[in-house]
Every structure is written in C-alpha cells, then in structure tokens.
C-alpha cells in the first residue's frame, strides 16, 4: 500500500505577516516562490493572538493598521491557522518557560517560545521568522531541548535564507 505524501508546510512568525501587510518585497517573493513550490503556510494560536492584540491594543496606529491588514488578508495569502488540543497549550507554555530558564531566549520573549513550541507540536519543521531572538538561538542547545522535552525539532529560518536555498 502506497503512503500518501506528507504536505510540505512552513509555519510563519508574526513578523512575517507584518511584512506581508507592509508590502515588503522579500516577504511577498518568499510567499509566492514557496507557494509555487507546493508549500502550505500555517500560523499558530500565539501568532493569531498577537495579531488580534496588536490590531486593537497597540499604541502605534501604524502597527494596529498592519495587524488589521494581516488578519484581513491572511486567508487570501493562503495562510491558514492551526490550533492545538488543550493539553498541548500547557506543553507549549512549559517549553517556552524552559527556553527562558535555559537562557536560550530572554525572559521578554515568552511568546517566541510559545510560537516555537506550537510549531513543534504541529510537526512543522521550519518556522519562518525575521526575529533575531529566534534566528540567533543556539541550534545545538535548541535541539537538545527539543529532545529532552520529547518534541519535534523545528528550525527558525529567515525568508531570505529560504529563498536562497530554493533557487
């Protein structure tokens, strides 16, 4: 019996949706190139929450407008949200706290840890981000943390790097 091929997925960090909303060429080039290559774009619960919060509560009007644009256009950009079972939210919280405790992320970047954990729990191998905190995380230490928590490995990657890799 032939197995069905696994869908090629990429998780997107909040900053990528802001870049799409802000008409950043690299972000749209990335999205279009990877869409043509058959990839599916996903966002986790924390990304959706960050966009929703920014669209209503952010002090900067421009930031609010970009968040609104991202929320309004995500589906037309072929970006679909995923959710987790209730128990997985607790696992994500524990993982995010562990990343901070192990000093892989600063304590101000708890949501980055949640986004990384949610991506892992959805078994999406790459988190596309331009966030320096995620891009500069020690890959070996992160891999060990994923192993110790018995979680799927995720690699944070900048869209420019992915574009270079696919071309």
Rounded distance between C-alpha atoms, residue 5 and residue 110, angstroms = 34
Does position 54 have pLDDT exceeding 80, yes or no? yes
Name the percent of the chain lying above pLDDT 90.
Answer: 89
Q: What is the DSSP code (8-state) at residue 42?
A: E
Question: pLDDT tens digits for 10-21?
Answer: 999 999 999 999
Architecture of domain 9-166: 3-Layer(aba) Sandwich (3.40)
The whole-angstrom separation of Cα 155 and Cα 134 is: 9
Rounded Cα distance, 88 and 94, in Å: 10
DSSP, residue by residue, 96-157? HHHHHHTTSS-GGGHHHHHHHHHHHHTT-SEEE---HHHHTS-HHHHHHHHHHTT----EEE
**7 pLDDT band (50/70/90 cuts)?**
confident
**Residue 152: pLDDT band by 50, 70, 90 thresholds?**
very high
Other C-beta atoms closer than 10 Å to the C-beta of 90 total 11
What is the per-residue pLDDT for 3?
A: 47
Phi, psi angles (nearest 5°) of residue 9 = -125, 150
Query: Among 41-50, 80-89, 147-156, whose mean pLDDT is lowest?
Result: 80-89
**Residue 158: CA atoms inside 13 Å, Cβ hemisphere, count?**
11
Tokens representing 75? Answer: 């589906």
Where do the structural domains in the chain lie, given as residue ranges?
Answer: 9-166
Mean pLDDT of all residues belonging to the chain: 94
pLDDT at 4: 47
CB 19 within 8 A of CB 27: yes
In this structure, what token pair is assigned to residue 41?
């774009």
């Amino acid at each position: 019996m032939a197995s069905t091929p696994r869908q090629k997925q990429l998780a997107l960090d909040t900053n990528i949706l802001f870049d799409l909303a802000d008409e950043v060429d690299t972000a749209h080039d990335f999205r279009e190139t990877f869409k043509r290559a058959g990839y599916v774009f996903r966002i986790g619960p924390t990304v959706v929450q960050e966009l929703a919060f920014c669209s209503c509560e952010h002090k900067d009007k421009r930031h609010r407008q970009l968040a609104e644009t991202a929320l309004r256009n995500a589906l037309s950009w072929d970006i679909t949200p995923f959710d987790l079972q209730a128990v997985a939210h607790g696992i994500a919280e524990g993982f995010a706290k562990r990343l901070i405790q192990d000093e892989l992320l600063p304590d101000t970047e708890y949501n980055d840890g949640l986004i990384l954990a949610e991506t892992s729990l959805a078994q999406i191998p790459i988190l596309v981000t331009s966030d320096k905190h995620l891009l500069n995380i020690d890959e070996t230490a992160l891999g060990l943390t994923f192993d110790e928590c018995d979680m799927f490995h995720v690699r944070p990657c900048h869209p420019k790097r992915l574009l270079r890799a696919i071309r």
